[in-house]
C-alpha cells in the first residue's frame, strides 16, 4: 500500500499531465504568505481574536468545503461565534440545487444589512454553488453592495488572498470564473463532528441529469489521488475517528479523471485494510455506474456499512429517459436484487423527484410501485424545482404545483408505512452503534449501519465509543433502545 501512497499523491507532482488537476506547491506557498499577512493585520487591528460566523447550506460536499474554509480562517487568526451579531466576519457557503435553497440564502443576506450598519467593519463573504452562477453573482454585485467577497466553488484555496485585498485596500472581490477547477490538497481542515468525519474523494459531476444544476456550478469530475485519500483516512483513524463518510457526487466514477488505476471498489478495499475499529460509509452512488464489483466489495469489506444510498429519482422509464439518468427501472431493480442477495440486511435509501416536467399521475404511480418493491429504509423526496440553464427548464411543465404537492404527500405517506414496518421489525434486536451526543439530557444517539437513529439513555462520557444497544421501541423513523 505504501507504494500507492508514494506514487499517487499530489505532494509528489512536479508537472506533466497531473498539473492540470492539482494546485501546485508554489501556489500553496503564496496563499500561506497571504495567510501570515492577514494574521498580522488582524492582530494589529483587533488585539484579541476576531470572530467569524460560518453558515453552510446544501449537501455534505458543501459541509466538507466549509471545514476547509474554517481551517483557513482559524489559521488566519479567527475564532468562531454562533451569532452573526457578534461576528467580525460572516460567511455563507451556499447551495443552488433548488429555488427554495436560494431564496433562503438571499433572505438571510438581506437580514445582514442592519447588522452591518451597526458594525461597518464587518466583512461579509458569500461563496459556494449559488455564487458560481453568473446571474446570481451579478445580482449580488448590483443589489447587495455591503457584501465584500463573492467566490465560487473553484476559488476556496484563495481565501487568504481575497481577505488580504479587502482588509488592506477595502476593495470588493468577485472570484467566480470556472477556468480553474484544480484540486487543492493540503488545506487545513477544521472538523467538529467528534468521532465522525467527511472525507471527499472526488469533486464535480459529468452526468448532466436534465433537472440538475450541480454540473454547471461544480464543474467536471475530478478525483483526488488514492495516496492522498488513504493518508487522510489513516490520519483520521489515528486521531480516533470511528465513522468515515467518503464523499462525491458520483463516487462510482472515482479514479477516472485523472486516471489513477484505482477504481472506487479498489479504493474501498484499500481503506478497509487500514488497521483499526471504524466504519466506512459513502455517498452518492449513481445507478448507471454502480457495478457488481462495487457491490461485491461492499459485501466483503467488514468495515463498510451495509447501507447503499442509490438515488432512483423516478420509477417510470419515460421520465428516467427525460431526466437523462441512463438506466431503466428494470436495470435499477436488478442491481438492488443482486445487492440484497449478497447482503440480506442491506439498508437502501434514495432520492426521488416528484413532478418532473411532463410527468403524469401514471408515471408518478410507477414511482410509488417502485418504492413499495424496493422497501427503502428512508427517502429524500423533492418537488421538482426549475433551474435556469438546465435542459429540463426548457420542457413543458403543465401540472400545477398544488397537484404535485398532492402526489408528494401520497409518496411520503407510502414511504412512512414502509419505514414503520421496517423499524417495527427491529424491536428486540441488538445493534452496535457509535455513541453520539443528543440534545436531550441524559440521552445518547447512535446510527445503525443502515443509518437508522437509535436513542438510548446513557452518560455523555460514552460518546465516541461503539456500544451494543437493544431496540425496545420503534417510532416511524427512529428507534428507542437501551444499553446491553
Ligand atoms: N449526485 C447525486 C445527487 C445530488 S443533488 C445523485 O446523482 O444522486 C441531491 C438530490 O437533489 C438529487 O438526487 C435530486 O433528487 C435532488 N434534485 C436535484 N436537482 C433538483 C431539482 N432541480 N429539483 C428538485 N430536486 C432536485
Ligand atoms: Fe446532479 Fe445527476 Fe450529477 Fe447527481 S448525477 S449531481 S443529480 S447531474
Ligand atoms: Fe447544493 Fe452544491 Fe451540494 S448545489 S446540493 S451545495 S453540490
Same domain, yes or no, for 160 and 237? no
pLDDT for 202 beyond 70 = yes
CATH assignment of the domain containing 416: 3.30.750.200
pLDDT for 178 beyond 80 = no
pLDDT for 270 beyond 70 = yes
Residue 176 cell numbers, joined: 467566480
Domain final position from 251, 278, 305: 305
Q: Give the number of the atom of ligand 1 that is nearest the alpha carbon of residue 211.
A: 22
Same domain, yes or no, for 169 and 34? yes
C-beta 218 within 6 A of ligand 1: no
Please give the residue that has the higher pLDDT: either 47 or 204: 204
pTM across the whole model: 0.96
Q: CA 131, CA 149: separation in Å to the nearest integer?
A: 11
Q: Pinpoint the alpha helices (H) of 314-458.
A: 317-322, 329-342, 361-374, 401-425
- What pLDDT is attached to residue 20? 83
- What pLDDT is attached to residue 464? 96
Measured in Å, residue 62 CA sits from the centre of ligand 2 at 15
pLDDT for 439 beyond 80 = yes
CB 55 within 8 A of CB 81: no
Same domain, yes or no, for 39 and 101? yes
Measured in Å, residue 287 CA sits from the centre of ligand 1 at 13
C-beta 129 within 6 A of ligand 3: yes
Domain final position from 305, 336, 370: 305
Q: CA 373, CA 351: separation in Å to the nearest integer?
A: 15
Same domain, yes or no, for 157 and 95? yes
pLDDT confidence tier of residue 14, bands split at 50, 70 and 90? low
pLDDT for 169 beyond 90 = yes
Same domain, yes or no, for 55 and 170? yes
pLDDT digits (tens, 9 = 90+) for 95-109: 999 999 899 999 999
pLDDT confidence tier of residue 205, bands split at 50, 70 and 90? very high
C-beta 58 within 6 A of ligand 3: yes
Of 305, 306, 268, 313, the closest CA to residue 287 belongs to: 313
Same domain, yes or no, for 443 and 377? no
pLDDT for 119 beyond 90 = yes
Measured in Å, residue 98 CA sits from the centre of ligand 1 at 9
pLDDT digits (tens, 9 = 90+) for 383-435: 999 999 999 999 999 999 999 999 999 999 999 999 999 999 999 999 999 99
Mean pLDDT within 125-150: 96
Q: CA 271, CA 278: separation in Å to the nearest integer?
A: 10
What is the residue range of 2's domain?
1-19+183-305
Same domain, yes or no, for 293 and 202? yes
Measured in Å, residue 395 CA sits from the centre of ligand 1 at 17
C-beta 219 within 6 A of ligand 3: no
User: Residues of the chain with pLDDT > 70: what percent?
Assistant: 97
- What pLDDT is attached to residue 1? 47
pLDDT digits (tens, 9 = 90+) for 351-370: 999 999 999 999 999 999 99
Same domain, yes or no, for 10 and 36? no
Q: CA 80, CA 12: separation in Å to the nearest integer?
A: 34
- For ligand 1, atom 15, which residue shows the shortest CA distance? 351
C-beta 253 within 6 A of ligand 1: no
Q: CA 64, CA 229: separation in Å to the nearest integer?
A: 14
Which of 55, 61, 351 to mutate to test ligand 3, by most ligand atoms within 8 A of the CB atom? 61
- What pLDDT is attached to residue 48? 80
- What pLDDT is attached to residue 18? 77
CATH assignment of the domain containing 13: 3.30.750.210
Same domain, yes or no, for 9 and 56? no
Mean pLDDT within 375-390: 97
CB atoms within 10 A of CB 400: 10
CATH assignment of the domain containing 53: 3.40.50.12160
- What is the number of domains present in the chain? 4
- Chain-centroid distance of CA 299 in Å reads 24
Mean pLDDT within 308-313: 98
Average pLDDT, the chain: 94
pLDDT for 471 beyond 90 = yes
Distance of CA 49 to CAs 66, 79, 168, 295, 365, Å? 20, 6, 18, 49, 57
pLDDT digits (tens, 9 = 90+) for 455-467: 999 999 999 999 9
What string of DSSP letters covers 56-107?
Answer: E-S-HHHHHHHHHHHHHHHHTT-EE-S-GGG-SEEEEEE--SSHHHHHHHHH
CB 480 within 8 A of CB 455: yes
- For ligand 3, atom 7, which residue shows the shortest CA distance? 214
Strands 279-283 and 307-309: unpaired
Same domain, yes or no, for 126 and 240? no
Domain final position from 175, 192, 222: 175
pLDDT confidence tier of residue 289, bands split at 50, 70 and 90? very high
pLDDT digits (tens, 9 = 90+) for 233-254: 999 999 999 999 999 999 999 9
pLDDT digits (tens, 9 = 90+) for 23-77: 888 899 999 999 999 999 999 988 788 999 999 999 999 999 999 999 999 999 9
Amino acid at each position: 500500500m505504501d507504494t500507492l501512497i508514494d506514487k499517487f499523491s499530489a505532494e509528489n507532482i512536479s508537472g506533466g499531465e497531473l498539473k492540470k488537476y492539482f494546485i501546485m506547491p508554489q501556489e500553496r506557498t503564496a496563499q500561506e504568505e497571504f495567510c501570515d499577512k492577514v494574521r498580522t493585520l488582524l492582530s494589529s487591528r483587533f488585539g484579541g481574536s476576531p470572530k467569524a460566523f460560518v453558515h453552510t447550506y446544501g449537501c455534505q460536499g458543501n459541509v466538507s468545503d466549509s471545514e476547509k474554509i474554517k481551517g483557513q480562517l482559524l489559521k488566519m487568526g479567527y475564532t468562531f461565534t454562533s451569532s452573526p451579531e457578534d461576528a467580525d466576519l460572516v460567511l455563507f457557503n451556499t447551495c443552488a440545487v433548488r429555488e427554495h435553497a436560494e431564496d433562503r440564502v438571499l433572505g438571510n443576506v438581506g437580514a445582514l444589512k442592519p447588522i452591518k450598519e451597526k458594525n461597518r467593519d464587518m466583512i461579509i463573504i458569500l461563496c459556494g454553488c449559488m455564487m458560481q452562477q453568473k446571474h446570481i453573482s451579478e445580482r449580488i454585485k448590483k443589489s447587495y453592495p455591503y457584501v465584500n467577497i463573492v467566490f465560487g466553488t473553484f476559488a476556496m484555496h484563495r481565501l487568504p488572498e481575497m481577505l488580504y485585498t479587502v482588509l488592506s485596500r477595502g476593495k470588493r472581490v468577485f472570484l467566480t470564473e470556472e477556468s480553474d477547477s484544480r484540486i487543492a490538497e493540503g488545506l487545513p481542515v477544521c472538523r467538529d463532528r467528534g468521532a465522525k468525519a467527511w472525507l471527499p474523494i472526488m469533486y464535480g459531476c459529468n452526468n448532466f441529469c436534465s433537472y440538475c444544476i450541480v454540473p454547471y456550478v461544480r464543474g467536471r469530475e475530478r478525483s483526488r489521488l488514492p495516496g492522498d485519500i488513504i493518508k487522510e483516512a489513516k490520519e483520521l483513524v489515528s486521531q480516533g475517528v470511528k465513522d468515515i463518510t467518503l464523499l462525491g457526487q458520483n463516487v462510482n466514477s472515482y479514479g477516472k479523471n485523472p486516471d489513477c488505476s484505482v477504481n472506487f471498489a479498489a479504493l474501498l478495499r484499500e481503506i478497509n485494510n487500514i488497521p483499526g475499529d471504524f466504519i466506512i460509509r459513502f455517498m452518492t452512488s449513481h445507478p448507471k455506474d454502480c457495478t457488481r464489483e462495487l457491490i461485491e466489495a461492499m459485501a466483503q469489506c467488514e468495515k463498510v456499512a451495509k447501507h447503499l444510498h442509490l438515488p432512483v429519482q423516478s420509477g417510470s422509464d419515460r421520465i428516467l429517459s427525460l431526466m437523462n439518468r441512463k438506466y431503466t427501472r428494470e436495470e435499477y431493480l436488478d442491481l438492488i436484487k443482486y445487492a440484497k442477495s449478497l447482503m440480506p440486511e442491506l439498508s437502501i435509501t434514495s432520492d426521488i423527484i416528484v413532478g418532473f416536467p411532463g410527468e403524469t399521475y401514471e408515471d408518478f404511480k410507477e414511482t410509488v410501485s417502485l418504492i413499495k418493491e424496493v422497501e427503502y429504509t428512508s427517502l429524500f423526496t423533492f418537488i421538482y424545482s426549475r433551474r435556469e440553464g438546465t435542459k429540463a427548464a426548457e420542457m413543458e411543465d403543465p401540472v400545477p404545483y398544488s397537484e404535485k404537492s398532492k402526489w408528494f404527500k401520497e409518496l411520503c405517506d407510502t414511504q412512512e408505512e414502509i419505514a414503520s414496518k421496517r423499524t417495527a421489525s427491529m424491536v428486540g434486536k441488538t445493534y452496535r452503534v457509535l455513541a453520539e451526543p443528543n440534545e436531550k439530557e441524559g440521552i445518547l444517539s447512535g446510527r445503525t449501519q443502515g443509518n437508522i437513529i437509535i436513542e438510548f439513555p446513557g452518560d455523555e462520557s460514552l460518546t465516541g465509543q461503539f456500544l451494543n444497544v437493544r431496540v425496545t421501541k420503534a417510532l416511524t423513523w427512529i428507534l428507542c433502545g437501551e444499553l446491553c
